[in-house]
Amino acid sequence: MEFEKGRTCAMDKTNTEINKKLNQTNSIEEFYASTVILLTGATGFVGKALLEKLMRVCPRIVAIFILLRSKKNQTVEQRFKQLTDDPVFEFIKAKHGSSIFNKLHPVQGDANLPDLGLSLEDRIMLTEKVNIVFHVAATVSFNQSLADAVNTNAKGTSRVIDLCKELKNIICFIHVSTAYSNAHLPEIEEKVYTTSWKPSTVIDILDKQDKNSIALLEESILKIHPNTYTFTKNLAEQIVFNDCKSFPTAIVRPSIIGASLEEPCPGWVDNIQGLTNLGLQIAKGNVNVIIAKKDARLDLIPVDYVADTILCAAWHIAIHRDSEVKVYNCTSNADPISWDHLNNIFLECSVETPCNDITWYPYCKLVESKFVYSILNIFLHVLPALVMDIVLKLRGKKPV
Angle at 249 between CA 8 and CA 53, to 5 degrees: 60
Highest mean pLDDT pick, 6-20, 202-216, 382-396: 382-396
CA distance 236 to 222: 17
CA distance 181 to 199: 14
Res 178 pLDDT > 70: yes
Q: What is the pLDDT of residue 271?
A: 85
CA distance 132 to 36: 7
The domain locations on the chain are 1-255+299-335, 271-297+336-399
CA distance 339 to 347: 12
Mean pLDDT of 378-390: 90
Please give the single-letter amino acid code of residue 112. N
Percentage with pLDDT > 70 across the chain: 93
Please give the single-letter amino acid code of residue 177. S
Q: What is the pLDDT of residue 5?
A: 45
CA distance 95 to 93: 5
Least confident interval from 67-81, 106-120, 195-209, 361-375:
195-209
1-255+299-335: which CATH topology? Answer: Rossmann fold (3.40.50)
Q: Which of 213, 218, 221, 349 is nearest to 279 (CA)?
A: 349
Q: Which of 274, 234, 230, 254 is nearest to 331 (CA)?
A: 254
Q: What is the pLDDT of residue 4?
A: 46
CA distance 327 to 365: 38
Query: What pLDDT, in 10s, does the model give residues 248-302?
Result: 999 999 999 999 999 998 889 988 888 889 999 999 999 999 999 999 988 999 9
Q: Whats the size of the chain, residue-wise? A: 400
Q: What is the pLDDT of residue 17?
A: 59
Least confident interval from 23-37, 79-93, 168-182, 371-385:
23-37
In the structure, what pLDDT confidence band is assigned to residue 197 with cuts at 50, 70 and 90?
Answer: confident
Pairing type for strands 172-176 and 300-302 reads unpaired
CA distance 96 to 250: 31
Q: What is the pLDDT of residue 2?
A: 46
Q: What is the pLDDT of residue 340?
A: 94
CA distance 310 to 319: 14
CA distance 58 to 158: 28
Q: For the chain, what is the mean pLDDT? A: 89
Q: What is the pLDDT of residue 333?
A: 81
Task: Encode 268-284: b = buried (16+ Cβ within 10 Å), e = exposed.
Answer: bbbeeeebeebbebbbb
Instruction: Read off the DSSP letter of residue 74.
Output: B
In the structure, what pLDDT confidence band is assigned to residue 20 with cuts at 50, 70 and 90?
Answer: low
CA distance 225 to 107: 35
CA distance 150 to 301: 26
The answer to whether the peptide bond before residue 264 is cis (omega within 30 degrees of 0) is yes
Mean pLDDT of 309-313: 96
CA distance 256 to 292: 16
CA distance 164 to 243: 10
More confident residue, 4 or 400: 400
Least confident interval from 22-26, 119-123, 154-158, 229-233:
22-26
More confident residue, 79 or 21: 79
Helix count and strand count (H, E) for the chain: 17, 13
CA distance 326 to 321: 11
Residues 6+ apart with CB under 8 A from 353: none
More confident residue, 73 or 366: 366
In the structure, what pLDDT confidence band is assigned to residue 359 with cuts at 50, 70 and 90?
Answer: confident
DSSP structure string for 344-392: HHHHHHHHHS--SS-SS----EEE--HHHHHHHHIIIIIHHHHHHHHHH
Res 7 pLDDT > 50: no
Instruction: Read off the DSSP letter of residue 140.
Output: -
Q: In the chain, what's the furthest Cα-to-Cα distance? A: 76
Q: Which of 190, 187, 196 is nearest to 223 (CA)?
A: 196
Pairing type for strands 337-338 and 297-298 reads antiparallel
